[in-house]
Structure 1
Amino acid sequence: MSETKHTLPPQHQEKQPGIEAEMTPAPDFMPRFRGADRLKGKAAVISGGDSGIGRATAVAMAREGAKIVILYLDEHEDARKTAELVAQEGSEAELFAGDLGTEPVCREAIARAVEKFGRIDVLVNNAAEQHTVNGLEELEEEQLLRTFHTNIFSMFFLTKAALPHMGKGGAIVNCASVTAYRGQSQLIDYSATKGAIVSFTRTMSQVLAPRGIRVNAVAPGPIWTPLIPASFDEERVSTHGGSTPLGRPGQPNEVASCFVFLSCEDASYMTGQVLHPNGGEMVGS
């Protein structure tokens, strides 16, 4: 059975990765449940933590007791709002702006996190961008390199920088996508990076298992985040998520709970796995 088909107001943003403050309606990012101190005393670094799934994850982890380091590109208003939301949960946030597609910036971001909170217990690799093309012929080298640097190279760089500061019980959670499993004809380079993220997750789970660090991923379906109006035209945005079995786009807080679960001891026997909050689409695991 499916829920009633859902439509969104037509809208478009010109700049990636998009501004949450300009979206109509605003995404639903607040946690739906009371906290249970599942991340009490821990420090979490979240790339792309200013908005969308990153914002919802930051607030949810703060509710569970974690201190949050928010890494973002240049969406300062969104980032400040997320920091305020974290503070309202009784926690603390540190903001760091920069291009995570370069290794020196990732090293600096992790150094800032360690300087601020003295530890890294959770790393959420979530930052991403996506750009549509009408065929491979339109995919320019500049865009290809940019997408790979932001979406997958940043995960290598941040994980490499964070590992010296992570100990037994640490958790890394990477943001993949349903497109890693079924592709998307207009998101050729984006889909390729998401497939690479799944492989990166599975490989690093084996590499880090002896150190007691778990590595998992979340592969969202069509979620209402700033990337959507920043990627597609108004008509495409208005029908976003309507083709899923549930007949609607997901909300960021429906994905954030997956990141919290994989980051805490509730998932202590899970590594190398992928969760699929995608509205009911059947894909390989």
Structure 2
Amino acid sequence: MESYFPVWDRHHQQVIGVVELYKSPVALYETLREGRILVIIVSLFSGVVLYSFLYWIVKTAHQLIESQRLRIKLASSRAVELNEQNLRRIGAELHDGPAQCIGFALLKLDSITEETENQQVKTNYDVIEKIQIVLNDALQEIRSFSAGLVIPELKDLSAKDAILKVIEKHEKRTTTQVRHQLNELPDELKLSIKICIYRLVQEGLNNAVRHELGIDQQVIVRHKEKQLRLEISDAGPGMNDEDLEKLNDTDHLGLRGLRERVESLGGKFKISSLSQSQGVRLLAILPLDE
């Protein structure tokens, strides 16, 4: 490296010579290289520290979210089981309370009717007969209602057996037929999942008879990729788009209860039409934890 410096004459105020210096640049280059290395090291260290800190934040947040999700799922499962216990209790209370009282009243009315017929007193016979009819209807409704609230013990049943049981009960009660496809269902499922499946099939088939005349009822359940896909369909009159939209946003107690059951377990619930003029399909997709 070459450097040049002028030599001044102070008396005459002019340059009288030039000083030329020579110096090797190796030391300067070495200093610059060391500086660059230091900058790289500091940058890498800072990046590692920052990345580690961000990774720790993300991992902690993920663990927190995952633990909260698991707690919510456990709470939902416990809520479903507790709800079923309450329904069984209500069903038993209805059967043992009002149903027994109405049954006792009917027995008394039967005895009064027999006495009235024997004495050939017909003044109040028509009134008593109407009361009997009303009480009989009320008794049948209470028994049907309480039977719908109480489900069989599902702990010892597989998902397939639970579905077949509710289909069998539905066929006997409505004298209709239900086709079913139950493909490779897992033997072991959480109780909350089995309860949800049972209620879905029960309510779906009830609606098929109540609103769609029970024509060509079908239950299809498939297990694939950690999901359970359940379809309940019929070939009844069907519904238009406006009615289906109302059903999907419905305040109907039974359907709203089904939607809440499915969504509380992290699933999806939808009602659709098979075609524009025929059939309704109830679809539920439930995630299955390993």
The answer to whether the superposition gives a TM-score over 0.5 is no
TM-score w.r.t. structure 1 length? Answer: 0.27
Choose 1 or 2 for highest CA Rg: 2
More strand by share: 2
More helix by share: 2
User: Which is bigger in relative contact order (C-alpha 8 A, separation at least 6)?
Assistant: 1
> TM-score if structure 2 supplies the norm length?
0.26
